[in-house]
Every structure is written in structure tokens, then in C-alpha cells.
Structure 1
Amino acid sequence: MNKSGGLALIRRIGRRVEALGRRARRSHRVAFVALMLLQLVIAIASLTWPDLTPASFLIVPLVVGGVLLQFRELVALSAITAVFGAYVVLSRGVTLPRIGFVLVLLVVGWIMITSAKVRSRLGVPGTRGESMLMELRDTLTAQGEMPTLPAGWRVEVAIQSAGSSTFSGDFVVSTVHDQVLEVALVDVSGKGIDAGTRALLLSGAFGGLLGVVPEEEFLPSANRYIRRQEWDDDFATVVHVAIDLATGEFDVRTAGHPPAIQFDAWSGRWQTRDADGPLLGLVEAPEFAMNHGQLKLGDALFLYSDGMVETPRRDIGRGTDRLAGHAERLVAQGFLGAAQELVATAGGPGDDSAIVIIHRKAHA
């Protein structure tokens, strides 16, 4: 058999195994019966050929059952496994190592049952809970994907969660309507997976508001939504920008968020776009200031979270200057790949970090 034929065979076997796994997840009763019969076969084989089939093989189907089965079925499988294991090992004589094996079997069963009980409280048996979390994570990631922009414009987004978690309290939502690009960078209180659930909730809500309500009503509407959640001490900060893609004129509004910074290609200077506003969720009827500007050819606008500029030993002002210094070295390459590079070099490892770079190219 040639190399390509061997690879094709391995792929077919992999697809078959994956298909069987999906069927087992959908049909818990079939999986339960199959695992119970497998335990019976292992017990008989261990009694008949003790040297070839050790009783410890009984642990393998029990662990598989902890992944595939519902709570009640797993309890039944654990009980059956304990009975089979005790009968197999104790039939050879009561010794301390054999009693210890039965205790280990009981402990493994208890661990599997405890894990299944947590999943059963969610109503999501087996591995579907993990699949649901992955789908929610992918949904949050998809919210940050930028829409297609006309020639002459480029937007880059990079998000890095604290502790290398796949969930982040920072997220981005965006939309294009009537030649206007709206982008909102949101930072939910908390870090990593602790803030991930609130970020998932808010990303859908804020994404729905963006482009539907007038630009000046986005932050007040977002604030009212958070107030309705009645969170005790949780809040969110937002920087929101609306850019006319025909003229380059933009309006920036912030809610407790670090200010946007603009790179002026003609002068080579960096300008802070301050627009003060309170944190979302803390005030009943807040007012948000607006900062108006224009992106000319070659200019760039940077939106970023506090994880990019603030640390316990450095305030936001110094951190903003440091971020601009890092970005200065990327001007020559037209900020291509700058978002990912800045998150890696300037982002704080102990906090979620996010950056959005909106660049109006010098040559369309």
C-alpha cells in the first residue's frame, strides 16, 4: 500500500470513529447498554484469563461512561462496575491490594458521578456542555469580525485574554451602514472566563443595537440594557466610534474607557481623542461627550482596552504614551499586522487586552 492510500485509510477510520462518537452522544441508552456489556465481557475475561486481562480494564469503560452517559445511567454503570470489580478480585482471595483496587474503583466512580451531576444541573449531559461552551466562544469571536470595507480602508482587531483563557472580558462589535462604519470596543468588569459569560451576553445585545439606534443613542441604550440586568457590582466600559468612509470624519464617545488615539500621517504626531463619560451600568441617565475628528489619507485611529495601557505600577496616561511609542515603529509598514503585534508586546499578561486599528491607507 502506498503512502497516499495509507493516509486515506487512516482518514476513513477516523471519520468512522468520529461518527460512532456522535451517535453515542445522541443515543445514551445505546451507549449505556454497550458499556454495560463491555464491563461484563471484561469481568468474564478477567476471571477466565487473569494474566491476559487484568481487572483494572474495568476502569476504562467507566471513564468513557463519565463522558457519554447521563447522570442516572452513569450511577447504574458505576454500581455495576463496582460489583463486577469486587467479584473478580475478591474471588481470588481477600488481600489488602485487592481491597485497595475495589476502593480505587469506587473513588473513580464517585469522581465520574460528581462531574455528571454538575452537567445534569445544566440539563446538558455528556460532552454537549463542552461543545456548547466552544460554540459560545466561537460566537463571541465571530462578533469581532469586521465587515468588508471599501478600498482604501483597513481594520485590524486583536484580543488577548488573561491567563491564556479562550474567553475574554474584552470584545468588539461592528457594522457598516450608509457608508458609515461603527465600531464598539467593550471591556466587561472581571478577567478571563469570569467575565466571559457577561461578555457573551453583552456582545449579542450591543451587536443588535449597533447600526439600529442613532450613533448618539448607542451608549445610552447600552447603559439602559446593563441597568436592567441588575448586576450588583459589575459594569462595562466602552469606546464607540462612527466613521464616514467617504470623508473620513468620525465621532468618538467613551464610557469610562481609555481615550482613542489618532496618528496624523502629515505631521507624524499622535493625538488623544478624549471624550469623557461614566461607566455603563452605574448611572441611571448618564451623558456622554463627543469628540469629532477626521482621518485623512495615511491616518490611523486606535481603540484599545485598559489592559493595553494600565498596570498596577503604571497609570493610563503613561501607558498610552508607551502604546504610541510601540505603534510608532509600525508606521513604515502601514500598520499591517500591527494589532496582533501590539497586543503581544504592549498587552498586560494579567489582564484582558484588546486593540482595534482603523487605518485609512495613503493609497487606495
Structure 2
Amino acid sequence: MPRGRPGEFATAPHLALRPASGEYRPFNAGHPPPAHHRREDGGSRRPGEDGGPPLGLLPGSPYPAAHGRPALGDSLLLCSDGLVEVPGQDIEAGIGRLPAAAEPVLRVPHASGGAAGHPAGRVLRAVARDVADDRTLVMVRRLGPPFTT
């Protein structure tokens, strides 16, 4: 829990991930829900719960988690609200822009190429080029054969 004066709060996404199985559980405190991009059909979905309020806003609030297991080649997208929120527009429109902007990048089996060509950087520029707010994007892709333990 954040410490500070009454009325202070913080937002945070959290992803619990088991690399060996690919299983994940996202927790959200005031951020948009993650998107699960399916490489097989190019579609995206938002798994399960939307999460809870910002930390410190409503003490004792539950933070339900969705769960899932991406197939090989699938990706998870977690972002801050600053990436998808545009003043005067419904945040759902911004949340919908993220998977659409990410799809061309995620369709490629594996991409890199320095900071300017980094896949997350290309998505950030496509979704929120002129945004003055925080713009955070975490892209997690499940690659290769499962690990053995």
C-alpha cells in the first residue's frame, strides 16, 4: 500500500507470469486491462476482470485477476492509461486502438532493430505520438518450445 497523506493514490499494472507453462495472471490498479493478441487469427481479447481502483483510493478494495495461457507466438499487451486516454474521448476508443496498432508488429514472428525499430516503440508512436501524459507499454510474447524443469 502506498504511504502518504489521505487522498494520495497510485496506479499500477502487475503481471504474474510462469515462463515454463506460459500461464499468466494480470492484476490492475487503475489501468486498462491487458490485451491478449492471438497470433493464429490476429485477434485480440481482454481476458477477464478489469481489475480494481488505484492503490490507496479505496482501502481494502479487491484486485481480481484474470488468468490465461497464451499459445506459442501469442502476445500480451499491458499499458498505462496515458497511452490510450485522450482528453474529451471515451477511453474505450483508445483501448481499442492499441491492439489494432500493435497487430502489424505482432504479426511478425520476431522483430528487433535498435531503439528506433523496437516493436514497442513503433506501437507507442502509432497509438500516442503527441500525448504529453505517461506512455507505458509492456509487450510480452511467448516464443519457442516450452521449458522443461
TM-score by structure 1 length?
0.36
1:331 equivalent in structure 2: 106
Distance in 1 separating the partners of 2:144 and 2:88:
38
Letter in 2 for 1:356: V
Stretches of structure 2 lacking an aligned partner (at least 5 in a row): 112-117
Q: Is the 8 A contact 1:298 1:360 kept in 2?
A: yes
Alignment of 1:180-191 (within 5 A): none
8 Å contact kept, 1:309–1:315: no
Superposed CA offset, 1:275-322 (max 9, x none): 321111112212111101012100000010111111013222111111
Distance (whole Å) between structure 2 residues aligned to residue 335 and residue 356 of structure 1:
16
Query: Equivalences for 1:263-274 in 2 at 5 Å?
Result: 263-273=37-47, 274=49
Match of 1:349 among 131, 137, 143: 131
Aligned pair partner of 1:302 in 77, 90, 93: 77
2:26 is equivalent to residue 252 of structure 1: yes
Question: What residue identity is the alignment partner of 1:309?
Answer: V
1:332 Cα deviation from its structure 2 partner: 3.2
- Cα gap change, 1:334 to 1:235, in 2 (>3 Å): farther
Q: Give me the TM-score of the superposition, normalised by structure 2.
A: 0.83
Q: Is the 8 A contact 1:242 1:252 kept in 2?
A: yes
Distance 1:335 1:259, change over 3 A: farther
Q: Distance in 1 between matches of 2:102 and 2:34?
A: 13
Paired residue for 2:60, among 285, 296, 304?
Answer: 285
How far is 1:329 from its partner?
1.4
Match of 2:98, SS?
Answer: helix
SS at match of 1:331: helix
How many residue pairs match? The answer is: 138
The whole-number CA distance in structure 2 between the counterparts of 1:263 and 1:311 is 23
Distance 1:249 1:314, change over 3 A: same
> Corresponding residue for 1:120?
none
Which amino acid is the alignment partner of residue 23 of structure 2?
E
* Structure 1, unpaired ranges of 5+: 1-222
* Alignment-derived partner of residue 340 in structure 1: 121
Q: How many angstroms does 1:233 deviate by?
A: 3.9
More relative contact order, 1 or 2 (CA 8 Å, 6+ apart): 2
Structure with the greater alpha carbon radius of gyration: 1
How far residue 351 of structure 1 moved from its aligned partner, in angstroms, is 0.9
Determine helix, strand or coil for the equivalent of 2:50. coil
Q: Distance in 2 between matches of 1:241 and 1:229?
A: 25
More helix by share: 1
